[in-house]
Amino acid sequence: MRFNAPPPGEEWGRGEVTEARQAASLILLRDSANGPEVLLVKRNPEQRFMGGVWVFPGGAVHAEDADHAGAAVRELREEAGIALPANAAPVPFSRWITPAEVKVRFDTWFFAARAPDGARATPDGGECVDARWLRPADALDACARDELLLVFPTIKHLEELRRFGSVADLLEAARGRNVEPVQPRVVMREGVAEVLLPGEPGYDDG
């Protein structure tokens, strides 16, 4: 995937590699007549980092968080006003590490969970100013039409999520997977940044 510039508030790193902060995100899902929908929240456009970008609720792990899953649940509650019931343990889904070439970096665990019945997202109005339930394919189509601003990790997750026909199928698959860290790489070609995933041509070059 090619970019003429980094996402809002991000900068390509110069010199030493920045240490990645621990973070967590919650992929909240609900079934619909046309397949699973996922909750996306819009970050406040006035924020310097990732302003205006649509993301899964999430953020940095705090000292008071029990673990990464606890941080993801807290962020969901703070950013979208949705509390998961105690018996709805989030399922580890993936782990992504920001490319070394980016200045602001996170080591993020993504967790998947079923939304409580009747859950309504209420953005906090500070960090997040809007929220939508969307089928993954619809979110990707909206991004292609420049109606939603998405970043690379969100796009790649939505591409995977759209394969599932129900929340149950997705969670079952997540419970059976071995989560391995994914660290994309940014390669500059003729002044344009190309983000590569491990295994793609050019990832291991120089």
With the C-alpha atoms ordered 36, 39, 45, 49, is the resulting torsion angle positive or negative? negative
Do β-strands 181-182 and 91-97 pair in parallel, antiparallel, or remain unpaired?
parallel
pLDDT in tens, 41-52: 999 999 888 899
> Would you say residue 4 has pLDDT above 50?
no
Evaluate if pTM is beyond 0.85.
yes
Average pLDDT over residues 9-15: 59
Contact yes or no for 76/26 (Cβ under 8 A):
yes
- Closest to 70 (Cα-Cα) out of 122, 116, 22: 22
- Average pLDDT rounded to a whole number, residues 54-70: 97
Q: How confident is the model at residue 7 (pLDDT cuts 50, 70, 90)?
A: low
Collapsed DSSP state (helix, strand, coil) of residue 189: strand
Kindly write down the DSSP assignment for every residue of 11-73, as one continuous string. -B--SSPPPPEEEEEEEEEE--TTS-EEEEEEEPTT-TTTTT-EE-SEEEPPTT-SSHHHHHH
Q: What's the pLDDT tens digit per position in 25-40?
A: 999 999 999 999 999 9
Mean pLDDT to the nearest integer, 141-152 = 95
Mean pLDDT of 63-71: 97
Structure confidence at residue 153 (pLDDT) = 95
Instruction: Identify the CA nearest to 152 among candidates 99, 85, 111.
Output: 99
What is the reported pLDDT for 190?
72
Return the percentage of the chain with pLDDT > 90, whole number. Answer: 76
Predicted confidence at residue 9, as pLDDT, reads 54
User: Is the Cβ–Cβ distance between 122 and 131 less than 8 Å?
Assistant: yes
Q: What pairing do the DSSP bridges indicate for beta strands 58-60 and 21-30?
A: antiparallel
The percentage of residues in the chain with a pLDDT greater than 70, rounded to a whole number, is 92
3-state DSSP: the chain helix, strand, coil percent, rounded to 5?
Answer: 20, 30, 50
14 pLDDT higher than 70:
no
Of the chain, the end-to-end C-alpha distance in Å amounts to 19
| Backbone angle region of 81, left / alpha / beta, with phi > 0 → left and psi within -120 to 50 → alpha | left
Q: Please report which confidence band the pLDDT of residue 82 belongs to, taking 50, 70 and 90 as the band edges.
A: very high
CB 39 within 8 A of CB 121: yes
Say if residue 79's pLDDT is above 90. yes
Distance separating alpha carbons of residues 66 and 117, to the nearest angstrom: 26
